[in-house]
Amino acid sequence: MKDYKKLKITMIGAGSTSFCPATLSDILLSDLLNSLPLEVCLMDIDKRALEVSTAYAEKAVKIAERDVKLWSTLDLDAAVKNADFVITAIEVDRYHYWSMDFHIPRRYGFRQVYGENGGPGGMFHTLRNLGPMLHIAERMEELCPEAWLINYTNPEAKLVEAVNRLTKIKAVGLCHGFGMGVDQVAKILEIPKEELDIVGYGLNHFGWLTSIKRRSNGENLYPLFKKKEAECHWLANWDEIALSRMMYRIYGPYPYPGTNHIGEYIAWSDEFLASTKIQYFFDPVREHPWETKKAPRFVYDFCSNPTGIDFHDKDKDKEKEYEECFTFHDNKLRGSEEYGIPIIEAIVFNLDRYIPSTNMPNKGTIPGIMKDMCVEGPCRVDGDGIHPIKVDALPDAISAMINQQGAIHRLVIDAYVEKSKNKLLQAVLLDPTISNYNNAVALIDEMCERQKEILPELNWNL
């Protein structure tokens, strides 16, 4: 157990409009962390983004009235040197490449949805982010070998599995998907979420709530949930939970976080996500988004009313829009519900804290799931680190779906390490959305050509 006399937290991807403000607020609002000499380093490869986030951070420190050593850099080595915790949230031209991840597999007849974490789109997303994530971890091995890497970058499970498999760095992945599932269950039950005690685990973006109890007396609420769910209108929040409700009826536990995420891992989800029809929509005759780098509009789901917009888009200053995300409107800091800073507090101050959802290698935590596959589940955190809590096995059908993804994880990581399109083809053909060999080969070749400037080198081993 390390005795922390001072603390350095490094945020990589600090130009992110969601990651930086939320994480920085949590750091500055923590009385525990600020009881030590505290250093916070912001790092990004985008100079302008880093300038904007640094100005925001400096104002946040003043508002919080904290004595924090705050600085920023474009230099990765300087950022991670002697760090105690490195927090990552990185992407490059996110919507530009994501629109390819979504559309191109569908052009070949593969009915994946969303294209972020699962399906062939999620595999290419993984391959793009593996290089930067492993580079960060490798520099940490040399410059802060005892530090924890706390990752928010997607595809969460594949990246965290790769870092733990290929480096000596301790890495944990965090996601707010579990909280989304809790919110949905609370609405269906018509019980405030604060009154619920819920346990969930499985795969990131494909988790399952195995226990729903009333916090005050331990009452099992699944019988009530079954009754209330059956009474809910099918169209209520259709794009968010229709697939979740159907899978609950089929398999038993209620899945989380929502249709667009869990639907990435099964072959029949397309009929449950209406927004798929307008996701990254463009006219291929007149618009060429990948050549012009003008990404089509991203749609989360229909619940956000994406079509309720003006007929004519007003000219928008993207720079001003970006800066607006780093603007204080009432000079107040608001904490997030993310788990990163509570985990850091528990490690530094040996608090023995329960965290309901983390992503770490499976060391027998979930019986029936592949060893060392990155799985999501509850844990306890103290001065000795993060300790996943052993849970009961999931139903056989669910375990089978997760293990299929575990094999894909390994093959995609192997493809990166071996620079092998052959291993990538094995992963693609294993995916439940794939239905044609020739199209799978053509998909790999087209994606590798379109994204060659950012993908690792991959070749056919003939």
Query: Over 80: is that where the pLDDT of 322 sits?
Result: no
Q: Which residue, 98, 106, 76, 105, is CA-closest to 11?
A: 76
Q: Supply the pLDDT for residue 439.
A: 99
Q: Are 381 and 353 in contact (CB under 8 A)?
A: yes
Q: Which residue, 173, 171, 172, is CA-closest to 140?
A: 171
Q: What share of the chain is helix, strand, coil (3-state, %, to 5)?
A: 45, 15, 40
pLDDT band at 53 (very low <50, low <70, confident <90, very high): very high
Report residue 222 as tokens: 């699944």
CA dist list (Å): 153 to 150, 207, 348, 359? 9, 18, 23, 12
pLDDT band at 314 (very low <50, low <70, confident <90, very high): low
pLDDT band at 236 (very low <50, low <70, confident <90, very high): very high
Burial of 356 by CB count in 10 Å (0-12 exposed, 13-18 middle, 19+ buried)? middle
φ and ψ at 153, to 5 degrees? -75, 140
Better-scored residue on pLDDT, 326 or 115: 115
Q: Mean per-residue pLDDT for 251-267?
A: 98
Please report, as a single letter, which amino acid is at residue 308.
Answer: G
Query: Over 80: is that where the pLDDT of 323 sits?
Result: no
Q: Mean per-residue pLDDT for 281-305?
A: 93
Q: Mean per-residue pLDDT for 234-251?
A: 97
CA dist list (Å): 121 to 103, 230, 431? 9, 34, 11
Q: Are 255 and 229 in contact (CB under 8 A)?
A: no
pLDDT band at 52 (very low <50, low <70, confident <90, very high): very high
* 58-82 burial: b if 16+ Cβ within 10 Å, else e: eebbeebebebebebbeebeebbbe
Q: Mean per-residue pLDDT for 423-452?
A: 98
Burial of 215 by CB count in 10 Å (0-12 exposed, 13-18 middle, 19+ buried)? middle
Q: How many CB atoms lie within 10 A of CB 213?
A: 16
Q: Mean per-residue pLDDT for 42-61?
A: 96
- Write down all domains in the chain, each with its CATH number in brackets: 94-121+175-306+339-462 (3.90.110.10)
Q: Percentage of residues in the chain with pLDDT exceeding 70?
A: 98
Q: Are 163 and 189 in contact (CB under 8 A)?
A: no
Query: Over 70: is that where the pLDDT of 388 sits?
Result: yes
Q: Supply the pLDDT for residue 317.
A: 65
Q: Are 378 and 389 in contact (CB under 8 A)?
A: yes
Distance of CA 126 to the CA centre of its chain: 11
Q: Compute the Cα dihedral for 43, 345, 149, 87 and give only its sign.
A: negative
Q: What is the pLDDT of residues 178-223, one digit of tens each?
A: 999 999 999 999 999 999 999 999 999 999 999 999 999 999 999 9
Query: Over 90: is that where the pLDDT of 17 sits?
Result: no
pTM to 2 decimals?
0.96
If phi > 0 it is left, if psi is from -120 to 50 it is alpha, else beta; for residue 336 that is: beta
Q: Supply the pLDDT for residue 167.
A: 99
Q: What is the pLDDT of residues 54-111, one digit of tens each?
A: 999 999 999 999 999 999 999 999 999 999 999 999 999 999 999 999 999 999 999 9
To the nearest whole number, what is the mean pLDDT of the chain?
A: 96
pLDDT band at 328 (very low <50, low <70, confident <90, very high): confident
Q: Are 28 and 61 in contact (CB under 8 A)?
A: yes
Instruction: Report the distance separating Cα 357 and Cα 208, nearest Å.
Output: 11
- DSSP H or E run through 359: strand 353-361
Q: How many CB atoms lie within 10 A of CB 328?
A: 12
pLDDT band at 315 (very low <50, low <70, confident <90, very high): low
Better-scored residue on pLDDT, 414 or 336: 414
Please tell me the number of Cα atoms within 13 Å of 275 on its side-chain side: 27
Q: Percentage of residues in the chain with pLDDT exceeding 90?
A: 92
Instruction: Report the distance separating Cα 10 and Cα 72, nearest Å.
Output: 9
3-state secondary structure 105-170: HHHCCCCCCCCCCCHHHHHHHHHHHHHHHHHHHHHHHHHCCCCEEEECCCCHHHHHHHHHHHCCCE
Q: Are 378 and 390 in contact (CB under 8 A)?
A: no
Q: What is the pLDDT of residues 330-361, one digit of tens each?
A: 788 989 989 999 999 999 999 999 999 999 99
CA dist list (Å): 243 to 190, 209, 231, 302, 304? 20, 15, 16, 14, 17
Query: Over 90: is that where the pLDDT of 321 sits?
Result: no
